[in-house]
A and B are shown apart, each in its own frame.
Chain A
Amino acid sequence: MSKIHLEVIQPHQTKIKDDFEHVIIPGIEGDFGVSENHTPFITIIRPGILTLFKDETPEKFAIHDGFVTVDNNKVTIVCETIEKSDEIDITRAEEAKKRAEDRLKSKNEEIDFRRAELALKRALVRLSLTQNG
């Protein structure tokens, strides 16, 4: 019984196009779930984990940016980066985490803290997805 149609669109491809029972999306003001007959809704995505429920085991993706539109049981996500756990390069994510942490610790004024913080968040999301499957 699949009730929601989900499309995930990237600039160079349509990554996911399928029906799901229930999805959990990391919105900018907190994670939210979408089931059948959700109210029309548009928000910005923050780095987090997108969870899709269809069968017993939910599918999980790391997603970093974008917008989501919920309208008439159709969920459309436009984003630049979305990865499944096996697509994630763990060593690269760990390096990125360390680099971002170093930047945040340093007192250098030329550093763009917002950017470093975002980079750290992205790295943490990637790592948490690979650790919890």
Chain B
Amino acid sequence: MQSIRDIKTRIESVKSTKQITNAMKMVAASKLRNAQSRILQARPYADHVNKMLVDLRKRNSTSQNPLLLEKENIDKKAIVIFTSDRGLCGSFNYNIIRRAKEYFAENPSADVICVGKKGYDYFRKHTSQNIIKQYLGIFNEMNFNVSREIANYLLNLFLVENYDTVEVLYNEFKSAIQQNIVIKPLLPIIIENSEEERSLDFIYEPSDDVVIEELGKKYINVEIWRIMLESSAAEQGARMTAMDSATENAAEMIEMLTLNYNRARQAAITKEIIEIASGAEALK
């Protein structure tokens, strides 16, 4: 049985852990708010680029631009995997890693681009997959330049290095307590057809083709930016939930330990009384 003093130190340490998890929860909650508002601010930009691309595609459905062209034989694949830079966010990274392993089982030769330190550390040690590039520590200071850099790298893979497809794997932000794993092709660009009837009578300068090319590149840029924002919001959401339950568990643990402590204390007192009583009895 644990001594009274042991239990007491244990209670103190659980209490300070609880304080830390509680503080982390608050921090995650405020970061989540920021991340959510950034998603909202980025939306008009992404929507407009998307709309322009859909219009162009509709008008020019036979475009042979390589960005839009699906290849028949897919041999050379690359996948971009978004994880977080920091841990303590529940199953956020684990879910991605599990999905990635399934993917690797199907595509053993796929090359990997890691965004986020957690994924990079794991895949480097535990898989034989070829990691061709990694972006670490970018979620601390999110800005559009980073997403541009990643987008340019991926475009280069696709257009110059002859990769047949580039896919992305990330956590989509559903709500503060829910994340969805998404895996989808990024390149070539697949444009969904909108049913909406709109006048497509635009004059394009210098030409449809040049605009498609530039717009396609911009679209990739915007997609990467959006995914980064989603992933970081999802990360904060996951961390908030994880820290919330950690705080709750700590509170439960403290309750249990306090109960044990009181029991032990009482047992000691009872024992002492019995000793004194029996001592007094012996003197009679």
Chain A contacts to B: CB under 8 angstroms: 9-14, 27-29, 39-44, 67, 69, 71, 76, 78, 80
Given contacts A11-B225, A27-B205, contact A67 B52 (CB under 8 A): yes
Query: Closest CB of chain A to B66's CB: distance in Å?
Result: 18
Question: By DSSP majority rule, is chain A's interface helix, strand, loop, or mixed?
Answer: strand
Chain A residues near B42: list those with CB within 8 A.
Answer: 11-12
Q: Is the CB of A42 within 8 A of B211?
A: yes
Cα of A108 to Cα of B206 in the assembled complex, Å:
32
Interface string of B126-149 (1 = CB under 8 A from A): 000000000000000000100010
B144 A11 Cβ-Cβ under 8 A? yes
Are the C-beta atoms of B144 and A42 separated by less than 8 Å? no
B49 touches A78 (CB 8 A): yes
Report the minimum CB–CB distance from B36 to chain A (whole Å): 14
Q: Are A11 and B52 in contact (CB under 8 A)?
A: no
Q: Mark B174-198, 1 if CB is under 8 A from A, else 0.
A: 0000000000000000000000000
Q: Given contacts A9-B48, A11-B42, A11-B225, are A40 and B206 in contact (CB under 8 A)?
A: no
> Which residue from B38, B45, B203, B206 sits with its C-beta under 8 Å from A39?
B203
How far does the alpha carbon of A39 sit from the alpha carbon of B203 in the complex, in Å?
8
> What are the 9 tightest A-B residue pairs by CB atom distance, in nearest-first order?
A43-B205, A40-B202, A9-B45, A11-B144, A42-B202, A41-B203, A11-B45, A9-B44, A78-B48
Interface residue from A11, A13, A40 paired with B222 (Cβ < 8 Å): A11
Tell me which residues across on chain A come within 8 A of B203, comparing CB atoms.
39-42
Shortest Cβ distance from B46 into A: residue:
A11
Interface of B is mostly: helix
Q: CB of B57 within 8 A of chain A?
A: no
| Chain B residues with CB under 8 A of A76 | 48
- Give 14 A-B pairs besides A29-B205, A44-B205, A69-B52 with Cβ atoms closer than 8 angstroms: A9-B45, A11-B144, A12-B42, A39-B203, A40-B203, A41-B205, A42-B203, A44-B206, A44-B210, A44-B214, A67-B214, A67-B218, A69-B202, A78-B45
- Are the C-beta atoms of B44 and A14 separated by less than 8 Å? yes
Total number of B residues with any Cβ neighbor in A under 8 Å? 24
Interface string of B198-217 (1 = CB under 8 A from A): 01011111100011001100
Enumerate chain B residues within 8 angstroms of A39, measured Cβ to Cβ.
203
Chain A residues whose CB sits within 8 angstroms of the CB of B48 once the complex forms: 9, 69, 76, 78
B121 to chain A, nearest CB (A): 29
The answer to whether B41 and A13 touch across the interface, beta carbons within 8 angstroms, is yes
By a CB distance below 8 angstroms, the chain B residues around A28 are: 205-206
| A74–chain B nearest beta-carbon distance, Å | 11
Q: Report yes or no: A41 in contact with B202, Cβ–Cβ below 8 A.
A: yes
A24 and B212 CA atoms in complex are apart in Å by 24
Contact of A44 among B38, B199, B201, B211 (CB under 8 A): B211
CA of A9 to CA of B45, assembled, Å: 6
Q: How far is the CA of A69 from the CA of B38 in the complex (A)?
A: 24
Q: CB distance B41 to A43 under 8 Å? A: no
Q: How far is the CA of A115 from the CA of B56 in the complex (A)?
A: 27
> Which chain B residues border A78 with CB–CB below 8 Å?
45, 48-49, 218
Q: Of all chain A residues, which has the CB nearest B147?
A: A11
User: Which A residues lie within 8 Å of B204 (CB)?
Assistant: 42-43
With A28-B205, A43-B211, A67-B218 as given contacts, are A12 and B38 in contact (CB-CB < 8 Å)? yes
Q: Within 8 Å CB of B41, what residues of A?
A: 12-14
